[in-house]
Chains A and B, each alone.
Chain A
Amino acid sequence: MNCALTIYGQSFESRLLIGSALYPSPEVMQASIRASGSQIVTVSLRRQNSVAAGQDFWDLIKALDLTILPNTAGCHSVKEAVTLAHMCREVFDTDWIKLELIGDEYNLQPDPIALLEATKILIDDGFKVLPYCTDDLVICQRLAELGCEVLMPWGAPIGTGKGLLNPYALRTIRERLSEMTLIVDAGLGLPSHACQALELGYDAVLLNSAVAGAGCPETMAKAFRAAVEAGRFSYEAGAMIERDIAAPSTPTLGMPFWHQ
């Protein structure tokens, strides 16, 4: 079994991808990201106005010396997302892009139709696209057909912390797209949610609010790190099959056989 996470040919030990927004201070952000053990950090270029204007913040991110995954958070149209992806490629010197295209302003649900369109354009432009999508199997299949090697279906809407709302759908995607790198992105609140995603066979999870919005982000980052490791070990070990009838785990030596 390949024990490393693979994203577009690059291998990573850590299966936790972490965001850089919403922390109480840059210092807490750096400490939390370090504590998470993550090797990939997502950053949002949007609203930083210009490259030079955001330089101080980029320097803090770069000081972490991690792989940077820029995202198109806050984009509502194909044009916006494509433009921002090109800006990100220049600023961060990477062809990776977490493609996020919002369809509903209120719950930030991804727009699956615009997502397919933007994905096609960006792949043609030479990007390695990591699309943030819903847990719809057909959308995931279409994204895979366009050439995505990584898919990032949601667990629940961004920032809700509700965990995996539809484990059945996520399991179906895992089974049907068995060769893809699949990452649950968004909606996680508890370490147990992350653990569950890894137990389902997802290759990794991506989260931000669950750590940044915790009472002590640094400690919560450690909790997620442990949960992701536990979930992955469980998946690799192969869990026992659930059954309805109790089965003794301790041998009952000495008990007359007709009582068993």
Chain B
Amino acid sequence: MAKVAVIGFGLVGRLAALMLAKTHQVSVFEQGDANTVDSAGTLAAAMLAPLAESVICEADLAEQGLAAIPLWQGVLAELDLPVMFQQAGTLVVAHQQDRGDLHNFIRRLKPLAGHSAQSLNQTDIATLEPELAGRFSQGVYLPCEGQLDNLAFYAASFKTLKRLGVQFHFHTKVNIDGNQVGNDTFDWIVDCRGIGAKAQMQGLRGVRGEVARIYAPEVTLNRPVRLMHPRYPIYIAPKPNHEFVIGATEIESQDAGDVTVRSTLELLSAAYTVHSGFAEGRVLALRAGLRPAFDDNRPKVTRDGALIRINGLYRHGFLLAPLVVKNALTEVML
């Protein structure tokens, strides 16, 4: 049994702690509280969308994302609270005047072992999503994709880790020095701070993202829906109890300040064009955060003595984290 410090209690920190807690003595250090509202993962739509993301990332990352989906099932199965997980695919649609953007999206999908996109006509769309019947004449279905409830995962992981005896140090900003974290010594230190590690990680930058969380009782969607649009491509990820995560802007900025009016208008107008039932929805939250990214927008794992750093998951946190964290820990035989 090794003594391990996990620094940062966001998505990566939680997964690292869950993978370590049963066989090692784990301490978690977090500058915020247990809710870690600064964590990019609390804003995320938590879609597991390797095929859709293959349009903007390299093929090997998309393959890793596909391989990470069953890992999520394993992680969630061991939690003390249920977390909504589904693998019912993604629906991608575009309005008639934007069909060029849909075709462009299809053209740029990368081949993913054994998984491809299916073209849909109006009837197919109505079968998959009855409430979108008649709204779109064409779309594509990406059957291999899934999603989970990010906030439920945050709650369940904390409860489970407490039961497993993990020691928590909230409101604690730490200095890492060799094997030392603060005044304590560890066999291994896993730095999972995301953008919080900016000062220590060369080339790490924040990419601003803004999302809305909406309660819309008049809207029922069975799976995440992506809308292709020349300027406002959005996704709508349905969470339990008619809650929807609508996102996301992507702005090259370190500003984590409040969501702008412009972004709000873009996100919510686009969502309204997908389903008019959003008009009567309630805005539960409008949030902005920073995705940690390196210049190549790929995750990076580095090791320096006892210190392992896992960072740069960019917009692919939920997609890639279980595999990236597992590989990083396996490499040092933890």
Contacts and interface: CB of A to CB of B under 8 A. Distances in A.
Interface in B219-264: 230, 251-255, 257, 260, 262
Contacts, number: 55
A99 B324 CA distance: 44
Contacts of A26: 205, 252, 295-297
Contacts of A56: 205-206, 252, 254
A105 B203 CA distance: 36
18 contacts: A24-B57, A25-B295, A26-B205, A26-B296, A27-B295, A27-B296, A27-B297, A28-B296, A30-B295, A47-B251, A49-B253, A50-B255, A52-B254, A53-B208, A53-B253, A55-B254, A60-B295, A159-B230
A48 interface: yes
- Chain B interface residue number, banded: 20 to 34
Interface string A21-35: 000111110100000
Contacts of A57: 205, 252-253
B274 to A, nearest CB: 17
B30 to A, nearest CB: 24
B104 interface: yes
Given A25-B298, A30-B295, A159-B230, 16 more contacts: A24-B57, A26-B295, A26-B296, A47-B253, A47-B260, A47-B262, A49-B257, A50-B253, A54-B254, A55-B254, A56-B205, A56-B254, A57-B205, A57-B252, A213-B104, A215-B108
B77 interface: no
B56 interface: yes
Listed from nearest, the 6 A-B pairs whose CB atoms lie closest are: A53-B255, A25-B297, A56-B205, A57-B252, A49-B255, A27-B296
A111 to B, nearest CB: 17
Contacts of B108: 215
A71 to B, nearest CB: 15
A28 B253 CA distance: 18
Nearest to A213: B104
Most buried by B among A53, A159, A215: A53
B295 A54 contact: no
Contacts of A52: 254
A25 B296 contact: yes
